[in-house]
Amino acid sequence: MLDLILNFVSCSRASGLRISSSEVLDCVNQLELIDVLEEPLFQSVLRSNFAKSRREQAHFDHLYHLFFHEMRSELSIPHSNELSELMEKALDSITAKLDQDPSFQAILDFLQGDPLGYLEEMRQLQSDTDGDTPSGMPNAFGPLIRRLQIMSQINGIGDGLARFMANNRQSIAWEDRKAMTIHYDERLDNARRMLREDPEPYDDGLKKVTTYEKHLNQIGDKSFFSLSKKEVEEMRDIVEQLVRKLKDTVQRRYSKHKRGVLDIKKTLRASAKYQGVPIEVVYKHKPKRKGKIVTLCDVSGSVWTAAKFMLNMLYSLQDCFLQVRSFIFVNELEEVTQTFQKHDINIAVDKSLKEAEINYQASTDYGSTFRQFKREYMDILNKKTTLIIVGDGRTNYSNPEEKILDEMREKCRRIIWLNPESLVFWNTGDSRMRTYQRYCNEVRHCQNLNQLLDFIKTLVL
Amino acid sequence: MTHKSITDVKYHLQKANYICSKSVATVVFLAQATQKPVLVEGPAGVGKTELAKAVAQSLNRDLIRLQCYEGLDEAKALYEWEYAKQLLYTQMMKDRIDEVISGSTDLNDAVDRIADQEDAFFSERFILPRPLLQAISSPEPVVLLIDEVDKSDPEFEAFLLEILSDFQVTIPEIGTRKAVKIPIVFLTSNNYRDMSDALKRRCIHLYIDYPDVELELQIVKLKIPGIKDRLAEQLINTIHEIRNLDLKKKPCTSETLDWAQSLIALQVNHLTPEIVTDTLNMICKYRSDADLVKDNMETITKNAGLECSI
């Protein structure tokens, strides 16, 4: 029993679940208290100890099913010694023929009922997809090629087994042959399916905002893309007004907050000056916590208009936040915080476009942007940071690197994704919104001023 | 008193008007048996808080509740010194204090003498216990509910760790206070933000999802005894159909109950699409959601077996 649990734990760890030893101890202790033969109970004990958030549960369920149901299929076969010997012989015959790639060995182990190596292999496929292609060009093909290799290895093993069966027609009874074929076919199918389908987390914690209050009638409903030059000017004025209003509201809140309750500790200390008579009265004044903001803006044509207005608002409201750091990207990342802090917003917008060392001709690549962020800026995220990503999620068919987004989520307070594209176009073509939204805390459609205002309001107030 | 087995948990919770699935009962039982806190997650309105209340009721224990919010600190959660009382006492005992220092030769001596007495002012007498301290110093075992822990700051979360793993708190002036009787602890979270690994490691995790048809039917029948079988079935089927739609906020169990209650008040015996449309604001709290349900009324009618009025 203990071995079984430990085996399951190491498999889970191999596929990326974090399980500490104290959790294993707890689990084993708890299993002693229940009737382990009743499967729902057994499963819920494992689940409540090993998968401690909703997002991990999908992964856990997948592993549980694989480990306790699919990998146990050999139990259904009449398990004579003879047959298992034959099986070993069959696998040996293939080992002898083919090369000694570690992943190849992993697949063979998987066939023999030890999924550890194969799970590790799958996890690597999902996580370090930093395209190490010979050409040095990072692209989505690196992991794809790796997958194809494994796929062909699986097929190779399948062929090898079939050949073994054919060669030994005489020496093995047909019942045994049939049992073996069924058994191996099932395992191979499992291996292929795991290769094709990545488990994805449940995303029912996701907040999806699609309806909005109407703040402004005409211009507020107009999409950012269809604004004329004159309207853009008009828009700037409106934004300025609104920002001033918003600031007032925030200020009012602060000053009201200042009154607070009597701080007795400090009043007493102050009264010491006047022989214990509380002349100076001190109130508890705890400034409301301000958040840090990190923005990642896609500046490739389609999205930039929306991003521009958002940055404009964010920087006008700078004193409402502890810190605002902004980055722009196309296929690589560039920090523009300084530019925005030093200059007036309109100049800054121009400057950041002209002076940033970004290749505007390149096609948007979210994957490489995330990789660069992870390499250079991961440390700026902490539990007080709100990460805002403005982008359409169109990856130009490159590797989306959603696992890095997942890592970023673990580090920061929340991730909000603003998508300026019309809702109907989400998830069409190369848009990977569906992939990304699973890792965000909130997804917003942000196409016009009304929607943007709504967002800024919830962010500031 | 604690529950003896999983079936015992289920039975007692049912007596306390709470119907739960087997996995919920398992976790509640294990939490008592291993003295570990339970971290309950799930969508709003599936009965996370209600579970803690029911456990308290079924065990005949007091429920101490700590509602978390942004800015909650230990002065409000754990304990506070009663400054006003301390001040009052010093004023009233001025003479005694004078007496203590009257014989002193110099200032140092006087301070030393006062220092000997300072324990009197930083003692249990002047501590104002807040929910957490109340829970662990109560002579009778209690149920402690830390509600919506995800709304609190990360700092507060770190501060909870000592209580959750060792059931003790440290008060600098007095020392470490260990729990008299170990309470059953429930933490609820709405997935507003992810909890830290350190906190998760110390808890048993429980995810309560929307109940399945059978369970919800039982719940409705238990909470609203007068309801007719036919109406209850239609009601639950409709709710489940509506939950399958892509809504902003799905109707939860408590809203199902409210809806059932209002249907009884309207003296409805069976559901028709018209009645559903008329009473929709009991279950859909956004206009866009209500519109979506109305648009899909035909499929709902068909799948939930509603009766078409002719």
Mutate to test the interface with B, among A44, A46, A269, A381 (most CBs of B within 10 A): A44
Angle at A364 between CA A421 and CA A306, to 5 degrees: 35
Q: How far is B226 from chain A (nearest CA, A)?
A: 33
Interface of B to A at Cβ within 8 Å reads 6, 22-23, 26-27, 29-30, 33-34, 36, 39, 41, 43, 70-71, 83-84, 87, 153-154, 191, 193-195, 197, 200-201, 203-207, 248, 286-288
The DSSP-derived string for A91-131 is HHHHHHHS---HHHHHHHHHHTT--HHHHHHHHHHHH----
Question: Which chain A residues are Cβ-neighbours of B10 within 8 angstroms?
Answer: none
Looking at chain B, which residue has its C-alpha nearest residue A21?
B201
Instruction: Give every CB contact of residue A50 below 8 A, 6+ residues apart in sequence.
Output: A9, A12, A17, A19, A23, A27, A60
Looking at chain A, which residue has its C-alpha nearest residue B6?
A34
Between chains, do A51 and B205 touch, taking CB under 8 Å as contact?
yes
Q: Is the Cβ–Cβ distance between A442 and A417 less than 8 Å?
A: yes
Phi and psi of A446, rounded to 5°? Answer: -140, 85
Give the pLDDT of residue A212: 57
Phi and psi of B264, rounded to 5°? Answer: -65, -45
Give the pLDDT of residue A134: 44
| Cross-sheet strand order for the sheet of A333-335 | A207-209, A442-445, A414-419, A385-390, A292-298, A323-329, A333-335
Residue environment code for A12-41, b if the CB has 16+ CB neighbours within 10 A, otherwise e: bbbbbbebeeebbebbbebbebbeeeeeeb
B220, with CB counted inside 10 A (0-12, 13-18, 19+), is: buried
Cα(A136)–Cα(A134) distance, rounded to whole angstroms? 5
pTM over 0.95: no
* A414 → closest Cβ in B6, B193, B287: B193
Q: How far is A322 from chain B (nearest CA, A)?
A: 16
Question: Which chain B residues are Cβ-neighbours of A47 within 8 angstroms?
Answer: 23, 205
For residue B8, pLDDT beyond 60: yes
Mutate to test the interface with B, among A53, A282, A286, A381 (most CBs of B within 10 A): A53
DSSP A335: E
Q: Is the Cβ–Cβ distance between A413 and A447 less than 8 Å?
A: no
User: Which token pair is A53?
Assistant: 């958030």
Q: How far is A422 from chain B (nearest CA, A)?
A: 18
Between chains, do A286 and B153 touch, taking CB under 8 Å as contact?
no
Q: How far is B267 from chain A (nearest CA, A)?
A: 35
Strand (E) or helix (H) holding A414 = strand A414-419
DSSP A442: E
Give the pLDDT of residue A111: 73
Give the pLDDT of residue A203: 63
Q: B61: left (phi > 0), else alpha (psi -120 to 50), else beta?
A: beta
* B83 → closest Cβ in A30, A264, A288: A264
Cα(B131)–Cα(A146) distance, rounded to whole angstroms? 56
Angle at B23 between CA B17 and CA B29, to 5 degrees: 75
Cα(A265)–Cα(A256) distance, rounded to whole angstroms? 21
Between chains, do A18 and B197 touch, taking CB under 8 Å as contact?
yes
pLDDT in tens, A110-162: 777 777 777 777 777 665 544 444 444 555 566 677 778 788 878 878 887 78
**Which of A415, A420, A220 has its CA nearest to residue A305?**
A420
Helix (H, G, I), strand (E, B) or coil at A160: helix
Phi and psi of A414, rounded to 5°? Answer: -160, 160
Helix (H, G, I), strand (E, B) or coil at B80: strand
Mean pLDDT of all residues in B182-203: 86
Mutate to test the interface with B, among A38, A48, A56 (most CBs of B within 10 A): A48
Cα(A181)–Cα(A187) distance, rounded to whole angstroms? 10
Q: Is the Cβ–Cβ distance between A131 and A391 less than 8 Å?
A: no
Strand (E) or helix (H) holding B301 = helix B297-304
Looking at chain A, which residue has its C-alpha nearest residue B31?
A30
In chain B, the percentage of residues whose pLDDT exceeds 90 is 15
Looking at chain A, which residue has its C-alpha nearest residue B206?
A48
Question: Which chain A residues are Cβ-neighbours of B87 within 8 angstroms?
Answer: 264, 268
Question: Which chain A residues are Cβ-neighbours of B287 within 8 angstroms?
Answer: 211
Angle at B276 between CA B273 and CA B278, to 5 degrees: 110
Give the pLDDT of residue A210: 60
Q: Is the dihedral of CA A43, A44, A46, A50 positive or negative?
A: positive
Give the pLDDT of residue A136: 46
Q: How far is A50 from chain B (nearest CA, A)?
A: 8
**Which of B288, B287, B239 has its CA nearest to residue B260?**
B239
Cα(A152)–Cα(A158) distance, rounded to whole angstroms? 10
Mutate to test the interface with B, among A31, A54, A412 (most CBs of B within 10 A): A54
Looking at chain A, which residue has its C-alpha nearest residue B151?
A413
pLDDT in tens, B262-302: 988 888 888 888 888 888 888 888 888 888 888 888 888 88
- The ranges of chain A with pLDDT < 50 are 75-78, 129-136
Cα(A314)–Cα(A307) distance, rounded to whole angstroms? 10
Question: Which chain A residues are Cβ-neighbours of B191 within 8 angstroms?
Answer: 54, 205
Between chains, do B205 and A441 touch, taking CB under 8 Å as contact?
no
Cα(A276)–Cα(A270) distance, rounded to whole angstroms? 8
Question: Which chain A residues are Cβ-neighbours of B249 within 8 angstroms?
Answer: none
Q: How far is A445 from chain B (nearest CA, A)?
A: 14
Between chains, do A57 and B207 touch, taking CB under 8 Å as contact?
yes
Q: Is the Cβ–Cβ distance between B135 and B176 less than 8 Å?
A: no
Between chains, do B27 and A23 touch, taking CB under 8 Å as contact?
no
Q: How far is B61 from chain A (nearest CA, A)?
A: 23
Strand partners, B127: B81
Between chains, do B33 and A30 touch, taking CB under 8 Å as contact?
yes
Looking at chain B, which residue has its C-alpha nearest residue A44?
B23
Place of tokens 């992939």: A435
Give the pLDDT of residue A447: 80
Q: Is the dihedral of CA A55, A56, A61, A66 positive or negative?
A: positive
Cα(B244)–Cα(B30) distance, rounded to whole angstroms? 33
Question: Which chain A residues are Cβ-neighbours of B122 within 8 angstroms?
Answer: none
Question: Which chain A residues are Cβ-neighbours of B33 within 8 angstroms?
Answer: 30, 33
Looking at chain A, which residue has its C-alpha nearest residue B248?
A208
Question: Which chain A residues are Cβ-neighbours of B248 within 8 angstroms?
Answer: 208, 210-211
User: Which token pair is A249?
Assistant: 């509201």
Residue environment code for B41-55, b if the CB has 16+ CB neighbours within 10 A, otherwise e: bbbebbbbbbbbbbb
Beta strand spans in B213-288 (E):
none
* B207 → closest Cβ in A20, A33, A54: A54
Between chains, do B30 and A48 touch, taking CB under 8 Å as contact?
yes
Strand (E) or helix (H) holding A355 = helix A345-355
User: Which token pair is A395?
Assistant: 């990856």
pLDDT in tens, A61-71: 888 888 887 76
The DSSP-derived string for A163-199 is HHHHHTTTTS-HHHHHHHHHHHHHHHHHHHHHHH---
In chain B, the percentage of residues whose pLDDT exceeds 70 is 98
Between chains, do A49 and B204 touch, taking CB under 8 Å as contact?
yes
B254, with CB counted inside 10 A (0-12, 13-18, 19+), is: middle
Beta strand pairing call for A207-209 and A385-390: unpaired
